[in-house]
Structures are given as structure tokens and as C-alpha cells.
Amino acid sequence: IRTLENSEESLAIVIALGRYSAEKFPDAEVVKNVKKIEEAFKTFHEKVQKAQECLKNKDFEGAAAIFREIIAEVKPPKDEEKRYMAFSHPFEEMLTRASTPDDKRPIERISVLPATLYYQLGLALFELKNYDEAKVAFNDAIALNPVSVVPYFELIQIAKIQNDFAEVRRLLSKIHPFI
């Protein structure tokens, strides 16, 4: 979960910036804003840690509820004019552009966090055997990073469970260029 580690690093930077600013400019408006950001980061991380704890403890209902709440807060915007993509590496953007040459919309890179959260929500829903909702979550993760094969593997597992081997073949053909 490198995404969450990067987010924790960002929190540490915000805290350090807040402390530095508070020392140098104790009455500045920026100090108040940094403190608000620091509190928002802490609250966010507490929610993520709680959701992951629920997953680890096999409280999949609790994990799904928390992941849904977090996703509502970080959901990327919908825009027909551009594609919001959550790439963890520039190579993923190149693969996406190469695999979708007819889509001329510009790509705006966003944090990989929403894709990670959708994936984790899908895992919780999968464990609850709520396969239809799990498929939606995994497809939301794929929409943000279509070259990440991991959500495809989860969709393949669901298709196998549902004895939908045509879907297994379709999914395998989609990821074949990426593996």
C-alpha cells in the first residue's frame, strides 16, 4: 500500500510546515490553514487505518462502510472533456495512451489513492460475496488505471465463481497486452 505510505509522508510534511510556520509567523492566516489541513489528514488516515484494520480482522461489513465513506470524500470529478487517471508510474500513462489511441481527450493525472480505495472496497465486498457491487468497485479502480492488472484478476475470480467463462476470456484478452 505504497499510496497510503506516500500520503502519510505528505502528512508529515504538512505537520512540519505547520510547526515551522507557527514558530515563524504565529499570527499568520497560513498557520490556521495548515492546522486545518493537518487535522483533515489525521482524520483521513485514522479512517483508512480503521478500514484496513477491519479488513485484517475480517470485519468486511465495517471495512466496506468505511471505504465507501472515504471514497465519497476523495472521488475524482467526472468530466467528459478529459480523463482523470491514477497512474503510479509514467509508463502506465504511455500504455494507456497506446491502448486507447481513439480517445483523444487529455489525461489529467490524479493521486492513485482513489483507485487503491476502490480496489480495497472491492476486496471487502468480494469477501462478503456481494459480487455485483465488488465488480463495480473493481471496475471503478480500472477506470482510473486501466493498465493495472490486479483488479482484473479479482474480476476474473468473480467470473469463475459465477461460471461465466466467456467473461473470463474477455477479461484475459483485455489484460493480455499488459502481462
Q: How far apart are CA 119 and CA 84, in angstroms?
A: 17
pLDDT at 136: 97
With beta carbons less than 8 A apart as the criterion, state whether 175 and 168 touch. Answer: no
Compute CA 55 distance to the chain's CA centroid, rounded to the nearest angstrom.
16
With beta carbons less than 8 A apart as the criterion, state whether 92 and 145 touch. Answer: yes
With beta carbons less than 8 A apart as the criterion, state whether 151 and 159 touch. Answer: no
pLDDT at 1: 46
Backbone dihedral region of 163: left (phi > 0), alpha (psi from -120 to 50 degrees) or beta? left
At 29, list the grid cell: 492566516
Per the prediction, the chain carries an average pLDDT of 85
List pLDDT tens digits, range 79-120. Answer: 889 888 888 888 888 888 888 889 899 988 888 888 999 999
Q: How far apart are CA 110 and CA 134, in angstroms?
A: 23
Strand partners, 109: 85
List pLDDT tens digits, range 22-66. Answer: 666 666 666 666 677 778 778 888 999 999 999 999 999 999 999
At 126, list the grid cell: 468480494
* Residue 141: pLDDT band with limits 50, 70, 90: very high
Q: How far apart are CA 1 and CA 29, in angstroms?
A: 34
pTM greater than 0.95 (yes/no): no
